[in-house]
A and B are shown apart, each in its own frame.
Chain A
Amino acid sequence: MASSEQLTSSEYIKHHLQNLTFGQHPDGSWGIAHGAEEAAEMGFWAFHLDTLGWSFFLGLIFIWLFRKAAKKASADTPSGLQNFVEWTVEFIDNSVRGSFTAKNNIVAPLALTIFVWIWLMNFMDLIAVDFLPELATMAGIPYMKVVPTTDPNATFGMALSVFALVIYYSIKMKGLGGFIGELAFQPFPKWLFPVNLVLEGVGLIAKPLSLALRLFGNMYAGEMIFILIAIMYGAGWVLGGFAGFLQLGWAIFHILIITLQAFIFMTLTIVYLDMAHQEHH
């Protein structure tokens, strides 16, 4: 897709919303889709290389950074990185201690991973919209959607794995009978269990759904506004200058949104896991 010819604004938006999809073309050959229609034809078994690539890369950064701080931790001369890592770990430890009452030593590391990883993925949204896709186009990669959390696959992936953990611990703590009982015999008396199942089932399914779509909705809307601001740059000096202030203002506000969404995803994960561990009366 030659970037030199004049793009209309909707083409520009469509280009920035398109993931780098790798999958099976209708004619059976595997390859990268060069258009939204091609990507759609690949059906379910298509991989978003950019989402996978960036989330793996950011995950490795998180692990490498925290490991480096931990290995070189020294009590008498703490380095800047070490202070930051200590502060983050303490912050998350307090919130886990605050809302998780049971005894389970995977919840705190899980909360730390979720918070820092999602924060890093969201942070990619602050990088100028055209910077990395333009580099990718030079390198011959047609599409590059840089923010993994604006891809519902990524947010649903995380939410469903948290959901699996919740189900696992519910069954482990309360036994299969206890877990089914909690779904079937809550609010109304026992013989009304179909109504209970519907009510509790909806409540159960709503957890991962809202967890995933909340993060996706916030990040997708945030990135869309960055894209719209980026379009304004092409509209002459006056609008371009004004767009500069808009971009600055929205980026500063977006820093709050990024941290808040990562914090909420983590807090709700802790709360859901805590509910999974609790024995209902």
Chain B
Amino acid sequence: MEQALLVIAGAIMMGLGAVGAAVGIGILGGRFLEGAARQPELIPMLRTQFFIVMGLVDAVPMIAVGLAMYVLFALAG
């Protein structure tokens, strides 16, 4: 029983992490394209900022996915 709960917990963590990351990076990507469309000459600078902020947006979801994988594979085995 406890094993099943661990697996469900892991799945929820990963699912919510994925949703968070997808929505966050989706919006970020959209804004990046808007900025690039408005000022194409700034694309290199915008692209670096995009990657930096994408790394930050990605942080907490990836922490959730990392911990979910720990729960799933190391604990629930």
Contacts and interface: CB of A to CB of B under 8 A. Distances in A.
Given A17-B74, A264-B52, A221 B59 contact: no
Interface in B22-77: 51-52, 54-56, 58-60, 62-67, 69-70, 73-74, 77
Interface in A214-231: 214, 216-218, 220-221, 224
Contacts of A10: 73, 77
A256 to B, nearest CB: 9
Interface residues of B, number: 19
Interface in A251-271: 260-261, 263-264, 267
B46 to A, nearest CB: 15
Given A10-B73, A14-B77, A220-B69, A213 B55 contact: no
Contacts of B64: 217
A60 B59 CA distance: 29
Interface residues of A, number: 18
A112 to B, nearest CB: 18
A261 B65 CA distance: 15
A261 B56 CA distance: 10
Contacts of A260: 51, 54-55
Contacts of A213: 59, 63, 66
Contact of B62 (A13, A14, A17, A214): A214
Nearest to B70: A220
Contacts of B56: 264
Contacts of B63: 210, 213-214, 216-217
Nearest to B66: A217
Interface in A17-57: 17
Contact of A224 (B52, B58, B69): B69
A13 to B, nearest CB: 5
B55 A263 contact: yes
Interface of B: 51-52, 54-56, 58-60, 62-67, 69-70, 73-74, 77
